[in-house]
Structure 1
Amino acid sequence: MRNLPKDFIMGGATAAYQAEGATMEGGKGPVAWDEFLIEKGRYTAEPASDFYHQFPIDLELCEKFKIDSIRMSIAWSRIFPNGFGEVNQEGVDYYHSVFAECRKRNVMPFVTIHHFDTPKTLFDNGDFLNRENVEHFVNFAKFCFEEFTEVHYWSTFNEIYPVATNQYLTGAFPPEIQFDLKKTVTCLHNMMWAHARAVNIFKENNYEGEIGVVHSLEPKYPASDSPEDLHAAMLDDALSVKFLLDATYLGYYSNSTMDAITEILEANETSVEFDENDFIEMKKAATRNDYLGINNYHSHWVKEYKGESTLHYNTTGKKGTQVYKIKGIGERIKRDDLPKTDWDWIIYPEGLYDLLVRIKQDYPNYNKIYITENGMGYKDHFEEGIIMDEPRIDYLRGYFNSISRAIEDGVNVKGYFIWSLMDVFSWVNGYNKRYGLFYVDFETQKRYPKESAYWYKLVSETKTII
């Protein structure tokens, strides 16, 4: 059995739109998801996990099960219903009450400023493709830093890469644009510039606490040793990993990264240009990140692909239906020799170990790392309040062992946040894909600890991976 450091944080992760419900309560303004989900007619984020009303119960469960931190976000439109302008005091008061309950239950909040929920007014005006909205984001971040002094740990963004790709490459998120690599890269850059500006404001105003960013990072491996597959994996990695980490820790894009991005864009008959002034802010911020949050669920194997872009996103849990072939990059292949979730996500803990060691080697100014999301989407079986989820425990055990190995090899990993604390609403899967330590009956909103919650509690108490 392996161990974790005695001061290793054991947390649970949530996000405002996926957990709070109350999408039209308390003066909250709309986000694009509200209208989008109604139009699709499959499900909505009402009531989600009703964290808006149930947070005292969820934080009491944290205390009872030795979950010492909660990762959560502040809904931008709950503070500024239109993204800017008049402040909604009811929303401000709500988050103060959540943080007071955190303090009462000895639970440390790790707070994300933007988690997929740009106010609809700004979203309809181009979201992060429109640089005016960067100004609104920075102003929102500054408001949060000054208002919520109870918060010590801040993250600017959750998953910049999925924001850009799901909106403009895969089309899984509104506005459902597919295969637009110019918009994808532009969005990535503008959000990294916005991150840098928020970090610099935080540091230059000497606010108390720490600040970082949460990236979704999924290792890319070549499907074979052929030069073509090696090159395809390099291209996929350059867009999804190196572009983000270069921006975060170098403050610019290395020549090798930009060569790859240029190749991808040219294959799609487009190009991008960045304002050189952006890199002034980005370079200043590159040495100011207190931590890196990593969301990691799976790894990919990539082979050469010369055709037109085509994909199918597995939203139903029907195994074997995922397809990902992107022109100018490559094809992510299936690995029949590795275990997968019902949503075709390959379970490969070794990938997280490889990623952690790579960051230490390639970006030595990373400072420290928190695993801010990791977990297993599973079709839990509910039997009279009993939920036995041994596959989830096996999944967690594998990833914790990889984290322990990385720490042993010198990577400064300080904590882990399981996705998710309780079952929550899923952006593209609705309610049948469950991740939580606590089962939520979405009709009654009653919580039930799963077998994994007891396992997680024991690991938290002993710091031993059992």
Structure 2
Amino acid sequence: MRLPKDFIMGGATAAYQCEGESKAHGKGRVAWDDYLEKQGWFSPDPASDFYHKYPVDLDLCKQFGVNGIRISIAWSRIFPTGEGEVNQEGVDFYHAMFKKCRENGVEPFITLHHFDTPNELHKNGDFLNPHTIDCYERYAKFCFEEFKDDIRYWFTFNEIWPVSSGQYITGTFPPGEKYDVVKTVESMHNMMVAHARAVIAFEEGGYEGQIGIIHSLETKYPYDEKKPGDVLAAEREDALTNQFLLDATFLGYYSENTLKHINFLYELENKTFAPKEEDMELLKKAAACNDYLGINYYQSHFVQEYNGESQIHHNGTGAKGTSVYRLKGISEHMFKEGIDRTDWDWLIYPEGLYDQIMRIKKQYPNYKAIYITENGMGYKDDFKDSTVDDEPRIDYIKRHLQWIAKAIEGGANVKGYFVWSLMDMFSWSNGYNKRYGLFYIDFETQERYPKKSAYWYKEVSETKEV
């Protein structure tokens, strides 16, 4: 199968996961700093030392056909407390790095928020606090103006559902709360309002370039299609994790079907979902300004009806078969016979990505373009003879690219693919034992080594054949 000639073959990164220097050069603290220090598990320093090594990494991009790179700006490297005085050293770092992207022929796609709200704002409620929305808008406006000559492609947020649910449902993100669906919905809604304010500011500022948002979409299938309870569970979980955010992005309001499920979940807590009218007006205005959607896709879920007490165990070590996900009134995740999964219990199901792409094309026909902004396989790489023979990763990426090509043949406007990740990096809840990169990092020496997948990716980039 073939991909379009102008299809971006990119690599994805995130500031906190690759830069290192997490509390140096004027950078302010983020909630993850306190959280990781308290747990005593992992340190984000030096990560991949992208702060110093970005010329090496961008040269590798040039050598291996990676013509686009997802980079996030660390909010607290620009505004150490999230607001107030600007850290000029941080601004200069990003200018220099963006310049190096251009020199290497690598298009930078910039994410403004990738799980790293400055700590002073996070500890006061993060996006549950309207003040954080105000600060985010000012930060976004600053970046649009400061980097207007450097950047043509912007994303406001990365993965609103995972960050909100990680904070308030699974407890895997700071502040580590669990099973609070109401807080999760409120956080998601407020982040969408912040997105809307940034998109409107970009539009009204008359900046050249384009802007959109990244959602992590996981297709939900009933475990038993013949059981009405399982069908309802899949629909309800989809409404919470996917449709709520897609409605806000493309419709500018929450559809009747979405509200039916959200209100049911609120009623379980004797509460009512009642967004402010002025917020909904912002969502409506922004819906017409989105230039594209970024989709992060790793897996799908097969779910069955569940009404017991919530119980979640996150497999953060690669101990296959240990994951548990049961959310009261919503669903239980099941392993489907015949579908393989990674050591971290993530189902390998590329058809789910195709289904999401085609779902957007059909359900939200006003969408303009799609980028697959993250997709890849976490793997326990075996480093031998200065490389990694990662055939399972090649197979994973190849199968997903083939289903993307099928979606394009079916009329979907998919413009590019960014493998997660460009190089091995720090992982939020897995530390350094879960590797995704095309390039192996020796975290002791910070040397880079191309994996077998890097050579395969280069060939695909050059031929567009999968």
Q: TM-score, normalised by structure 1?
A: 0.99
Deviations 1:232-282 (A, max 9, x none): 000000001100000000001001100011112222443332111101111
SS at match of 2:384: coil
- Give the RMSD, CA atoms, in angstroms: 0.7
Specify the code of the residue in structure 2 equivalent to 1:102.
C
**8 Å contact from structure 1 (residues 376, 395) kept in 2:** yes
Aligned letter for 1:92?
Answer: V
The 8 Å contact of residues 76 and 117 in structure 2, kept in 1 or not, is answered as yes
User: Shift of the alpha carbon at 1:386?
Assistant: 2.0
Is the contact made by 1:268 and 1:328 (CA closer than 8 Å) also made in structure 2? no
CA distance in structure 1 between the aligned counterparts of 2:334 and 2:264, rounded to whole angstroms: 21
Q: What is the letter of the counterpart of residue 24 of structure 1?
A: K
Q: Which residue of 2 aligns with 1:454?
A: 455
Instruction: Name the residue aligned to 1:367.
Output: 368
Paired AA for residue 49 in structure 2: D
Q: Distance in 2 between matches of 1:5 and 1:221?
A: 30
SS at match of 2:10: strand
CA contact (8 A) 1:155 1:214 kept: yes
Alpha-carbon deviation of 1:78? 0.2
- CA distance in 1 between counterparts of 2:275 and 2:63 reads 50
Larger CA deviation: 157-166 vs 260-269: 260-269
Unaligned runs of 5+ in 2: none
Q: Shift of the alpha carbon at 1:334?
A: 1.1
Q: Aligned partners of 1:386, 1:87: CA distance in 2, in Å?
A: 42
Distance across 2 between alignment mates of 1:84 and 1:384: 48
Asked if 1 retains the 8 angstrom alpha-carbon contact of 2:17 and 2:428, the reply is yes
Kindly provide the CA deviation profile for residues 202-246 of structure 1, in whole angstroms up to 9, marking residues without a partner as x: 001111110000000000000112111000000000001100000
Q: Distance in 2 between matches of 1:227 and 1:180?
A: 26
Paired AA for residue 197 in structure 1: R
Counterpart residue number, 2:268: 267
| Higher mean C-alpha displacement, 210-219 vs 335-344 | 335-344
> What residue in structure 2 maps to residue 95 of structure 1?
94
Matched, 1:147 2:146: yes
1:292 is aligned to 293
Q: Distance in 2 between matches of 1:173 and 1:269?
A: 26
Comparing 433-442 with 271-280, greater Cα deviation is found at 271-280
Cα offset, 1:182, TM superposition: 1.3
Distance in 1 separating the partners of 2:357 and 2:294: 11
CA distance in 1, matches of 2:44, 2:197: 31
The alignment-based identity, stated in percent, is: 60
Q: Check whether the contact 1:214–1:294 (CA below 8 A) recurs between aligned residues.
A: yes
The whole-number CA distance in structure 2 between the counterparts of 1:356 and 1:455 is: 25
2-side partners of 1:65 and 1:139: how far apart? 37
Aligned to 1:227: 228
One-letter amino acid of the structure 2 residue matched with residue 154 of structure 1 = W
Is the Cα–Cα contact under 8 Å of residues 423 and 440 in structure 1 kept in the other structure? yes
2:283 equivalent in structure 1? 282
Residue 171 (structure 2) pairs with residue 171 (structure 1)? yes
Partner of 2:105 in structure 1? Answer: 106
d(CA) in 2 for partners of 1:386, 1:208: 41
Matches within 5 A, 1:15-164: 15-149=14-148, 150-164=150-164
Partner of 1:4: 3
What residue number does 2:464 align with? 463
Corresponding letter in the other structure for 1:79: I
Tell whether the 8 Å contact from 1:48 to 1:424 is kept in structure 2 after alignment. Answer: yes
Gaps of 5+ in 1: none
Q: Is the 8 A contact 1:438 1:453 kept in 2?
A: yes
Q: 2: CA distance between counterparts of 1:157 and 1:429?
A: 22
- Post-superposition offset of 1:406: 0.2
Deviation at 1:34, TM superposition (A): 0.7
The residue identity in structure 2 corresponding to 1:55 is Y
Contact 1:265–1:328 (8 Å) recurs in 2: no
Q: SS at the partner of 1:283? A: helix
Give the letter aligned to residue 9 of structure 2. Answer: M
Matched with 2:402 is 401
Which residue is equivalent to 1:196?
A: 196
CA contact (8 A) 2:223 2:336 kept: no
Aligned partner letter, 1:146: E
* Deviation of 1:64 (Å): 0.4
Residue 340 of structure 2 aligns with which residue?
Answer: 339
1:418 paired with 2:432, answer no
Residue identity opposite 2:435 in structure 1: R
Matches within 5 A, 1:321-340: 321-340=322-341
Give, in whole Å, the separation in 2 of the partners of 1:76 and 1:309: 34
Read off the aligned partner of 1:71 and give its amino acid letter.
Answer: R
Residue 73 of structure 1 contacts residue 112 of structure 1 at CA under 8 Å; is this kept in 2?
yes
Distance 1:186 1:276 in 2: 15
**What is the TM-score normalised by the length of structure 2?**
0.99
Give the paired residue count. 464
Q: Which residue is 1:392 aligned to?
A: 393
